[in-house]
Amino acid sequence: QEQEQEQKQEQEQEQEQEQEQEQEQAVLTKFRWSFAGKEVFVTGTFDNWTVSLPMVKEENSSIFVAALSIDRSKEIEFKFVVDGIWCYAADLPYRTDSHGNINNIFHALP
């Protein structure tokens, strides 16, 4: 029983260390949609494609923005959902994934 408790404590410590490392690598990242739209969201690998981040239109501008702290130690693929239609921004870096979808990308930071 003592061994089991020790193993549980070790696992909990490992999980805490992993969470701390992820938080340390998080960088405030700004997303920008500079095309037409009334309602714009951004989604991607950072939220498992759940369309969780609404964007806000900048004052006196047609540009939508959103900022989120995300782990930039690895590549982040993302898309915009504009008035219900999934889009990529041609003015930002993008690539075609293995399924033929075109996604915008933030490359990993060194």
**What's the whole-number mean pLDDT along residues 32-48?**
95
- 58-to-31, 62, 67, 109 alpha-carbon distances in Å: 12, 7, 12, 27
31 or 20, higher pLDDT: 31
Identify the H or E element spanning 106: strand 102-106
pLDDT number for residue 105: 97
pLDDT interval class at 102 (50, 70, 90): very high
pLDDT number for residue 24: 56
Q: pLDDT per residue over 67-79, tens digit each?
A: 999 998 999 999 9
Distance from C-alpha of 24 to C-alpha of 31, rounded to nearest angstrom? 20
pLDDT number for residue 5: 75
pLDDT at 92 over 90: yes
Short-list 77, 68, 74, 83, CA closest to 104: 77
